[in-house]
Amino acid sequence: MRDRRAFKRLDRWMGIPLLALAGLGRPGRSGAAPLGPGGRVLAVKFSAVGDTLLLLPVLKALKRTVGPGGRLEVLATPVNAGILEGLGFLDRLHVVRPGDLAARPGRVLGLVGRLRGAGFDWALDFDQWLRAPALLAWASGARLRAGFRTPGQGKHRAFHRSLEHVAGIHEFEQFAALAALAGVDRDSVEPFQGFLMREGFLGAAPAGPGRVPLVALHPGAGGERAWQREWPVESYVALGARLRARGFRLALSGHGPAEEELCARIESGLGSPVEDRCVGRPFADLVGLLCRADALVCGNTGVMHLAAGLDRPLVALHGPTSVALWGPRRDLAAGARGFAPQAALPCSPCLTLGFEYGCAARPCMESFGVEGVEAAVLGVLERS
């Protein structure tokens, strides 16, 4: 979402003045009642896959707070709508295409009309950077609005209550803290570790123990600027060869043309087909693969959070991205089901907003040696 340059320009040049106007008409409501049984709440989340997965336990806690007589509705985009469809604790899903905000204002006005007609008590904007979600939360007509106060974004002008977005606190904790502004009990938010498996997310079911370990490799990281967050193809090839020499089975996963190309290059470098190639297939197939896999190796990407939510062992390599902010959420004992190393370079991590890379290269990702990653895979397999 953030990689779409045209939408980012629109979000900046139209979002800043519109948020200023929204702030002028915002009355103070410091004594407003928190959410309770029978309440109506709108949650707004435009992107991305990993963040939306982390948000699911918070959404469930919101629904539990308003109870069966209340309403939980979510406003999303095609980027993450597939994750939210069919959730038992969601009463309605609204989907907006970001391009419609400028190209099809009639559709957006129709959406705003539906939102205003719902009579929301609260609108919670869980997007950390984009301004458009804050504006739609404001336009929803909700009596109270809350969202993040992200440095330099001005989103807080649309809210009655705001929470400072802090780079050193994990996103899961920040989502839960934002919901707490509306009255959600923090202790009611279930741990993310294994949440997707417990919910049977997209048919998730544990696989029986296999005779030979299956290790899934996910080389891509999504988006136009993912290259700097990816471990080199040559390293994946070398790792795959070493794991095969130990008798392990291999699988590859990816989505979109760029990741399909990465997987093809890895399979070509290995010299023979892998056991499973979940590339360009439905998201539910990826869930099934991770349920069968004994371990996953990847960079910082939504699939990393998917594996953590399914309680699968994983090794997640972090270079420009912060483990503290975006790493796999491990709610059990540290290291029990995974390993997420931060590159040992003084400039790592360099991202705060998710796209302002400190350099055009990726020395941080290239600093991870194949032998070290192999040892990490063996370690998580031994502990699982």
211-223 pLDDT, tens digit per residue, is 799 999 999 998 6
Q: Is the dihedral of CA 320, 326, 328, 334 positive or negative?
A: positive
Q: Alpha helices of the chain — where are they, by DSSP H?
A: 5-13, 15-24, 49-66, 81-84, 100-103, 105-117, 132-139, 171-181, 195-198, 233-245, 256-270, 283-292, 302-309, 323-326, 363-366, 370-383
8 Å CB contact between 343 and 367: yes
**291 against 330, higher pLDDT:** 291
279-318 pLDDT, tens digit per residue, is 999 999 999 999 999 999 999 999 999 999 999 999 999 9
- Sheet of 71-76, strands arranged across: 92-95, 71-76, 40-44, 122-125, 144-149, 161-164
| Cα 175 from Cα 156, distance rounded (Å) | 15
Tell me: pLDDT of 11 over 70.
no
Give the other-Cβ count within 10 Å of 78's Cβ: 11
Nearest CA to 75 out of 94, 52, 49, 55 is that of 94
141-161 pLDDT, tens digit per residue, is 999 999 999 887 888 889 999
Q: How far apart are the first and last CA of the chain?
A: 35
The pLDDT of residue 3 is 41
Q: What is the mean pLDDT of the chain?
A: 89
**186 against 331, higher pLDDT:** 186
The pLDDT of residue 24 is 52
CATH architecture of the domain formed by 201-383: 3-Layer(aba) Sandwich (3.40)
The pLDDT of residue 156 is 86
Q: What is the mean pLDDT of residues 36-60?
A: 96
Residue type at 74?
Answer: V
Residues sharing a CB contact under 8 Å with residue 110, sequence separation 6 or more, in sequence order: none
| Cα 325 from Cα 319, distance rounded (Å) | 13
| Cα 217 from Cα 87, distance rounded (Å) | 28
The pLDDT of residue 27 is 52
- The CATH 3.40.50.2000 portion of the chain extends over 5-25+33-190, 201-383
Tell me: pLDDT of 319 over 90.
yes
Tell me: pLDDT of 12 over 70.
no
Residue tagged 């869980």 (tokens): 126
Query: What CATH class is the domain 5-25+33-190?
Result: alpha beta
Tell me: pLDDT of 174 over 80.
yes
3 state SS of 305: helix
Output phi, psi for 344, to 5 deg.
-90, 55
8 Å CB contact between 214 and 228: no
pLDDT grade for 8, boundaries at 50, 70 and 90: low
pTM: 0.91
Nearest CA to 20 out of 143, 135, 125 is that of 135
Residue tagged 């309403």 (tokens): 71
| Cα 231 from Cα 219, distance rounded (Å) | 7
CA atoms within 13 A on the CB side of 131: 24
Residue tagged 């705060």 (tokens): 352
3 state SS of 92: strand
Two tokens, residue 360: 């055009």
The pLDDT of residue 332 is 43
Helices (H) and strands (E) in the chain, counts: 16, 12
Q: Which of 30-34, 249-253, 280-284 has the highest mean pLDDT?
A: 249-253
Buried/exposed code over 345-362 (b: 16+ C-beta within 10 A; e: otherwise): eeebbbbbebeebeeeeb
Least trusted range by pLDDT, from 201-210, 264-273, 315-324: 201-210
| Cα 63 from Cα 36, distance rounded (Å) | 10
Q: What is the mean pLDDT of residues 118-137?
A: 94
The pLDDT of residue 5 is 56
The pLDDT of residue 25 is 55
The pLDDT of residue 1 is 43
